[in-house]
Amino acid sequence: MTRLGDLERAVMDVLWDRFPGPAAGLTVREVAEALSERELAYTTVMTVLDRLAGKGMVERERTGRAWSYRPAASREAHIAKLMLDALDLAGSRESALVRFARSVTGTEAEVLRAALTDEASDRKG
């Protein structure tokens, strides 16, 4: 399970909030500028992005002399993976799913119901 630390999450939020966006991704400097209120050193942001690349959370490519970074997956895909990984930790996936279903709001339950209905329709057709 790829859990993110506070700073990693802040960097990913910048990338997720900007994409779809620049086709070439964001440079370390652009990410650092987006996080300027944190007063982070350029090298700190560079290290975080390098670690995120190592974890497979971001993709990077050379743009001139600098690297540019973009999310490897959407925020929603990342959250869904975390949820599935959490289910794998449960003694009973079914019990965990039932408990989760009972904890969501009415609107969230409707979204889940619609998604399950759509998935069932897709499997039939």
Q: 10-residue block means of pLDDT along the chain (125 residues)? A: 87 91 82 96 97 95 90 92 89 88 90 87 79
| Residue 104, beta-bridge partner list | none
| Whole-number pLDDT of residue 91 | 85
Residue whose token pair is 């399970």? 1
Rounded distance between C-alpha atoms, residue 29 and residue 41, angstroms = 10
| Whole-number pLDDT of residue 64 | 86
| Whole-number pLDDT of residue 119 | 83
| Whole-number pLDDT of residue 19 | 81
Sign of the C-alpha dihedral, residues 105, 108, 114, 120?
A: negative
| Whole-number pLDDT of residue 22 | 58
Q: Which helix H or strand E contains 114, and what residues bound it?
A: helix 106-124
| Whole-number pLDDT of residue 21 | 62
CATH of 6-71, one of 2.60.40.10, 3.20.140.10, 3.40.309.10, 1.10.10.10: 1.10.10.10
